[in-house]
Amino acid sequence: MSNSDRFSLSMRLFHWGMAALVLSMVAAGLLMVTSLQPWQLTLLNIHKAFGVMAILLVTARLINRLRHEPPALPHELADWQKTVAKASHWLLYILLFAMPVSGYLMQYFAGRPVDVFGWFRLPAALQVDIHYYALFRELHGWLAVVLIGLIALHIGAALHHHFIRKDDVLKSML
Ligand code: HEM
């Protein structure tokens, strides 16, 4: 496989690094909201700190994506399939950005500053706004549902390319 058929090294590192981060964030989020165990608060603080790191990472990733052209999709794919693939990738980027931003805004309007591993602290509103807090909490939950669905589709499509169509789409990201 030639270099032009593969994603650049930086794109592959961002892809797998963010995949691990986002899957752990989703798992931690779902665990947090379905448990009342004593570790729930610790997990919540870890979730928030890694979530803020996700905002930085996805911003760096978007800049990197705009500077590198991904390899072309297989010629055999119909135009509509290429359009759906590209649209789903951009939707994933939007969600990767909207998830942590909505999480932070939820905390902001709840008047809770976010401490990031003791390195720095993101500010919170001086006055709690319960309506905006509820809005962003609800949004964070619904965006998570869409993100989980889209990740499932994304993984399904990658496996379909690899095992059914037997093309190089998955290999180009390995
Ligand atoms: C990639 C980033 C993130 C992902 C994938 C993610 C994912 C999730 C998920 C799946 C849930 C459970 C939602 C539910 O079922 O109600 C959740 C809850 C939560 N997340 Fe995030 N999150 C991210 C970033 C953040 C950030 C940056 C913050 C705050 C700084 C945050 C704060 C919270 C809080 C406070 C909850 C609990 C909400 C509640 O009590 O209903 N999240 N998150």
Nearest to 112 by CA among 120, 50, 39, 104: 104
Tens digits of per-residue pLDDT, 70-115?
Answer: 999 999 999 999 999 999 999 999 999 999 999 999 999 999 999 9
Kind and range of the H or E run holding 119: none
Q: What is the CATH number of the domain that holds 122?
A: 1.20.950
Task: Look at the pTM and tell me if it is higher than 0.75.
Answer: yes
Determine the pLDDT at residue 43. 96
Q: How far is the CA of 53 from the centre of ligand 1 (A)?
A: 13
Tell me, what's the pLDDT at 5? 85
Q: Is 107 in the pocket of ligand 1 (CB under 6 A)?
A: yes
Ligand 1 center to 63 CA (angstroms):
24
Containing structural domain, residue 125: 3-173
Q: Is the CB of 116 within 6 Å of ligand 1?
A: no
Q: What is the pLDDT of residues 112-128, one digit of tens each?
A: 999 999 999 999 999 99
In 3D space, the residue among 4, 7, 22, 17 whose CA is nearest the CA of residue 152 turns out to be 22
**121 Cα–ligand 1 center, Å:** 18
Structural tokens at position 23: 């899957």
Residue type at 152 in one-letter notation? A
From residue 109, alpha-carbon distances to 35, 104, 105, 140 in Å are: 24, 9, 6, 13
Residue 23 pLDDT exceeds 90: yes
Q: What is the count of structural domains for the chain?
A: 1
- Pocket probe for ligand 1: among 130, 140, 146, the residue whose CB has the most ligand atoms within 8 Å is 140
Does the beta carbon of 71 lie inside 6 Å of ligand 1? no
Helix (H, G, I), strand (E, B) or coil at 14: helix
